[in-house]
Amino acid sequence: MRLAVTGATGFVGGAVCRAATAAGWAVTAFGRRATADGRDLGGAAYRSWDIGAAKLADPPEVDAVVHCAASATDTGVAAEVWRTNLLGTHHVLVSFPDCRIVHVSSASVYDPFRPTVRAKEHEAPVSRYLNAYAAAKAAAERLVLAVGDHPVVLRPHAVYGTGDTTLLPRLLENVRAGRLLVPGNGRVLVSMTAVTALARACLLAAAGPAAGVFNIADSEPVPIDWALRGLLASAGVSVRPAYVPAALLAPVARVFPKGRLNRYVISQFAVERTLDITAAVDRLGYRPGPTVFPARS
What's the per-residue H, E or C state across 3-17? EEEECCCCHHHHHHH
Residue 243 near residue 186, CB atoms below 8 Å: yes
* pLDDT beyond 70 at 8: yes
DSSP reduced 3-state for 24: coil
Q: Is 103 helix (H, G, I), strand (E, B) or coil?
A: strand
pLDDT of residue 252: 55
Closest by CA to 143, choosing from 93, 188, 209, is 93
pLDDT band at residue 262, thresholds of 50, 70 and 90?
A: confident
CB-neighbour burial class of residue 266 (10 A; exposed 0-12, middle 13-18, buried 19+): buried
The percentage of the chain sitting over the pLDDT mark of 70, rounded to a whole number, equals 94
Share of the chain above pLDDT 90, in %: 74
| pLDDT of 76 over the 60 cut | yes
CA distance 104 to 156: 8
Question: Among 67-71, 98-102, 154-158, 267-271, which is the least confidently predicted range?
Answer: 267-271
Closest by alpha carbon to 276, among 221, 194, 203, 209?
221
Amino acid symbol at 277 = I
pLDDT digits (tens, 9 = 90+) for 229-249: 999 998 888 888 989 887 776
Residue-level pLDDT at 129: 96
Question: CA nearest 66: which of 194, 157, 202, 193?
Answer: 202
Span 46-66, average pLDDT: 96
Using alpha carbons, select from 245, 225, 237, 224 the residue that is nearest to residue 173: 237
Average of pLDDT values for 15-27?
98
Is it the case that residue 190 has pLDDT exceeding 70? yes
Q: Which of 211, 207, 240, 224 is nearest to 149 (CA)?
A: 211
Specify whether the CB–CB gap between 51 and 69 falls below 8 A: yes
pTM for this predicted structure: 0.94
Residue 258, pLDDT score: 52
Which DSSP symbol is given to 148? S
**What domains appear along the chain, each with residue ranges and CATH number?**
2-164+191-219+274-284 (3.40.50.720)
Contact by Cβ (8 Å): 106, 125: no
pLDDT at 251: 63
Check pLDDT > 50 for residue 102. Answer: yes
Residue 185: pLDDT over 90: yes
pLDDT computed for residue 255 by the predictor: 44
CA distance 30 to 53: 14
